[in-house]
């Protein structure tokens, strides 16, 4: 890192075409704000009160079967519905627009063991989750009215997870949501103007510089991106130009399972806690277009800043001006690389 990057500066995010303010001189400021509880690990393998544990009744009255691997079902309290009427208002002004949004919400239980997280699962079991994600993307994406399939996980109460059982969600929508829509435009514009893929070029650049690379295997490169907003944000990029999970071979499916295991383990080891995050995949829309510009990648957005109990808040200037971070992405990558790859509970 050059000496000038130790002073306030801003960095450009080419995927969102937005800027982030970096203020590395603020890392030593005192903290008298909110201190959260640490997120411990459960030693309970089966919780009779958990509606995602095998054989238990869910809040809506349905019973979760006694599954032995991955289990996927429709969310009992879905934010989207397959059928929804077009909102109609007589003589509605242009500034008060509304559109119908149809979709479907699915829940993916990663494992029947209540005590596990991705970081504590075996790579082989995570591979089964990757297979389930792929089949859900294939099935949901084939529905003509559904143009995007968003696969994600909210890990931990700090990120709003309503249940600690290892699980994630899949929402499919009638329109392409704002974040992947903005990335679609940026990727398409880059390809049209340069004749190459933005993320292929970016992954090659990060591999050459090395300073922000956190983890790597044959199929994926995981970095703290140059434009990271969250303190320990990471981006996992497929090394081959793959538009979606449907382009993956066995090697890429294994590679995705492995990189998820390694990244989440490093997160937990950083502060020796069950590290909270929101993680999700961005991949080609399912709108029937070819989308040769698209390149599969995974975003990790973890909120912890300086310890297991102090989080980063997006308030004030971040909400009214632009995102801001206190530690440089290079410093964050160095800290993540320095922790062991064996989970601290197993050492």
Q: Examine the residue annotation and report whether 167 is marked as an active-site residue of this protein.
A: yes
Closest CA relative to residue 233, chosen from 160, 139, 325, 320: 325
- How many whole angstroms separate alpha carbon 63 and alpha carbon 75? 13
CA distance 170 to 256: 17
Rounded Cα distance between 251 and 311, Å, is 36
| Cα(189)–Cα(202) distance, integer angstroms | 15
Tell me if 56 sits within 8 A of 50, measured CB to CB.
yes
- Alpha helix (H) ranges present in the chain? 123-141, 178-194, 198-209, 250-271, 317-320, 329-338
- 127 backbone dihedrals φ, ψ, rounded to 5°: -60, -35
Q: How far apart are CA 306 and CA 129, in angstroms?
A: 31
Asked if residues 313 and 176 have their Cβ atoms less than 8 Å apart, the reply is no
H or E element that contains 12: strand 9-13
Candidates 165, 167, 295, 297; catalytic one: 167
Give the CA count within 13 Å in the CB-facing half-sphere of 264.
26
The answer to whether the Cα torsion of 271, 272, 274, 277 is positive or negative is positive
Tell me which residues are annotated as active site.
Answer: 167
């Amino acid at each position: 890192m050059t000496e000038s990057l130790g002073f306030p500066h801003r960095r450009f995010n080419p995927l969102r075409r937005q800027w982030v303010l970096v203020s590395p001189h603020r890392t030593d400021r005192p903290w008298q704000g909110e201190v959260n509880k640490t997120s411990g690990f459960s030693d309970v393998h089966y919780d009779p009160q958990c509606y995602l544990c095998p054989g238990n009744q869910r809040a809506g009255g349905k019973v979760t079967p006694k599954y032995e691997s991955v289990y996927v079902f429709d969310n009992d309290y879905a934010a989207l519905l397959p059928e929804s009427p077009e909102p109609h208002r007589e003589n509605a002004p242009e500034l008060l627009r509304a559109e119908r949004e149809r979709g479907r919400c699915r829940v993916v239980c990663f494992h029947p063991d209540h005590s596990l997280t991705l970081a504590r699962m075996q790579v082989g079991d995570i591979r089964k989750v990757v297979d389930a994600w792929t089949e859900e993307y294939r099935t949901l994406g084939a529905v003509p009215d559904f143009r995007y399939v968003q696969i994600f996980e909210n890990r931990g109460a700090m990120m709003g997870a309503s249940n600690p059982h290892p699980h994630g969600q899949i929402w499919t929508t009638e329109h392409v949501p704002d974040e992947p829509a903005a990335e679609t435009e940026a990727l398409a514009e880059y390809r049209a103007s340069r004749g190459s893929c933005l993320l292929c070029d970016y992954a090659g650049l990060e591999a050459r510089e090395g300073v922000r690379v956190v983890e790597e295997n044959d199929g994926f490169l995981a970095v703290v991106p140059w434009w990271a907003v969250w303190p320990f944000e990471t981006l996992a990029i497929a090394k081959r130009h793959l538009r979606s999970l449907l382009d993956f071979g066995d090697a890429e499916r294994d590679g995705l399972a492995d990189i998820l295991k390694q990244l989440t383990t490093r997160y937990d080891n950083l502060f020796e806690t069950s590290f909270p995050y929101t993680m999700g995949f961005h991949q080609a829309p399912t709108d029937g277009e070819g989308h040769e510009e698209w390149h599969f990648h995974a975003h990790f957005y973890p909120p912890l800043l300086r310890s297991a109990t102090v989080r980063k808040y997006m308030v004030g200037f971040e909400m009214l001006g632009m995102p801001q971070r206190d530690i440089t992405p290079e410093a964050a990558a160095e800290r993540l690389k320095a922790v062991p790859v064996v989970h601290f509970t197993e050492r």
